[in-house]
Amino acid sequence: MDKKITIAIDGFSSTGKSTLAKQLARHLGYAYVDTGAMYRAVTYYAMDKGYITDEHFDKQALINDLPHISLQFLFSPEKGFAEMYINEHNVEKMIRTLAVSNKVSRVAELSEVRAMLVKQQQQMGAGKGVVMDGRDIGTVVFPDAELKLFMTASPETRAKRRYLELQEKGDKASYEEVLKNVQERDYIDCNRQDSPLVKAADAIEIDNSKLSIEEQFEKVMQLVQNAV
């Protein structure tokens, strides 16, 4: 497989996009870009500065700071994947908490934030040989991607996965809280004005409610082969 392509993976939260994207990138020797981590990082920044709390969201303060936010993925040899840095601080752990998940969709609604991150994502994938996951990769970031996947699974299946993941990390969120977060994010992600989550006309839908990780990988590798 010599020709390098762009693989765009979109879909609802906790549908296993990043698991699949990492598997593909490792197997194909491609770069993997987790665009959700970038939206999470900007959200963490806004929370840390007090721009967004449960009570208020000072959107303009965040927009004014955007030119001073530098995001970077740096590969960690111990972890085996790239971790997220903001202005040279490792924020990988902080951006995965339920507290950030609860605010990220509101930050991701801002067109100024989207414009900045989409531009960086397009630069990262310019040379092809990239697997990128998010919500708007096949529709906005790389509308010409050779392979577009759209991942779905029932909200309950997704909440159960996310709940187990958070438990493993020692986050004490309840299953009900996680399910509520999944449903709220689905709603905001699908209904925002700028780049809502929609399946691109030429994307292949994968419902993995009943697929094992291995079954899914085999199915997708077949699609990669066809696309190449």
Beta-strand ranges (E) seen in the chain are: 6-11, 31-34, 71-76, 81-86, 89-90, 130-134, 147-152, 204-207
105 lies in the binding site for ligand DC (CB under 6 A) = yes
Where in 35-163 does DSSP place strands (E)? Answer: 71-76, 81-86, 89-90, 130-134, 147-152
Helices H / strands E in the chain, number of each: 8, 8
Q: Does 136 bind ligand DC (CB under 6 A)?
A: yes
Q: Which two tokens stand for residue 139?
A: 């529709």
Rounded CA-CA distance 30/73 in Å is: 15
Contacting range for ligand DC; rule: CB under 6 A; set: 70-78, 83-91, 100-108, 147-155: 100-108
Of 45-53, 70-78, 132-140, 210-218, the window that binds ligand DC (rule: CB under 6 A) is 132-140
- Report residue 184: phi and psi, to 5°: -65, -40
- What is the Cα–Cα distance from 227 to 62, expressed in whole angstroms? 40
Region binding ligand DC by CB under 6 A among candidate stretches 76-84, 103-111, 149-157, 170-178: 103-111
For residue 114, the minimal CB distance to ligand DC (Å) is 7
Task: Tell me if 25 contacts ligand DC by CB under 6 A.
Answer: no
Q: Taking CB under 6 A as the rule, does residue 35 contact ligand DC? A: yes
Q: Does 185 bind ligand DC (CB under 6 A)?
A: yes
Smallest gap from residue 91 Cβ to ligand DC (A): 13
User: Which parts of this chain interact with ligand DC (CB under 6 A)?
Assistant: 13, 35-36, 39-40, 104-105, 108, 134-136, 185, 189
